[in-house]
Amino acid sequence: MNPLVRVIGVCLHLCACGLIVREWDPEVTHHRGDAINLLELAADLDLERTQPSNPGPTFVSHNPDLRPSVIDLVFHGIAESVSDCTFRDPVRQGPSDHIPIFTVVKRDDEIEPVTRRTIPRDSEAEQAMRTELPQKIADIQVSDLKTREDVERVAQALADAYAEAWMAHSKVS
């Protein structure tokens, strides 16, 4: 599973305006490649479309010539349990032409606490990092940058040098 999905328990609400297709609206007889592309993109992100527990249109136009349709979609993490956690709420529609969709997202108790690393200002650790980092940067071979790969290599080496110095001298706070 995509680590971002696991950490934040992704539930994505979006309006697929103009994508009225049979993949999510059973009243439609055709489908478009855009819909398939959207579903494939969601799958690449470890997401899948969630059908509300009370299926039905999500868009009811103020224009009586247009039929109600499903254009508001919800995607959630594939591994998440979603029984009855997504529902349409026509009572709260108000003057909008979209029916609100609500999703209950369960919090993952296994999420690691967020920590930060710091180096106190004017400390010995700061001075040590200020001494070490220029040395690490000076050791990076930067001559003969002829290809994109050469530039990428140097950029990665710079990032690694900073990360190594930071991790060596900072403390969890």
Rounded distance between C-alpha atoms, residue 35 and residue 24, angstroms: 9
Domain coordinates in residue numbering, the chain:
3-103, 117-172
Condensed to tens digits (0 to 9), the pLDDT of residues 92-140 reads: 888 888 888 887 766 666 666 778 899 999 999 999 999 999 999 999 9
Rg (CA), the chain: 25
Condensed to tens digits (0 to 9), the pLDDT of residues 30-69 reads: 666 677 777 788 788 888 878 888 888 887 888 888 888 7
Comparing C-alpha atoms, which of 116, 88, 98, 104 is closest to residue 11?
A: 104
Tokens of 44: 């690449």
Helix extents (H) in the chain: 3-8, 33-44, 124-138, 148-169
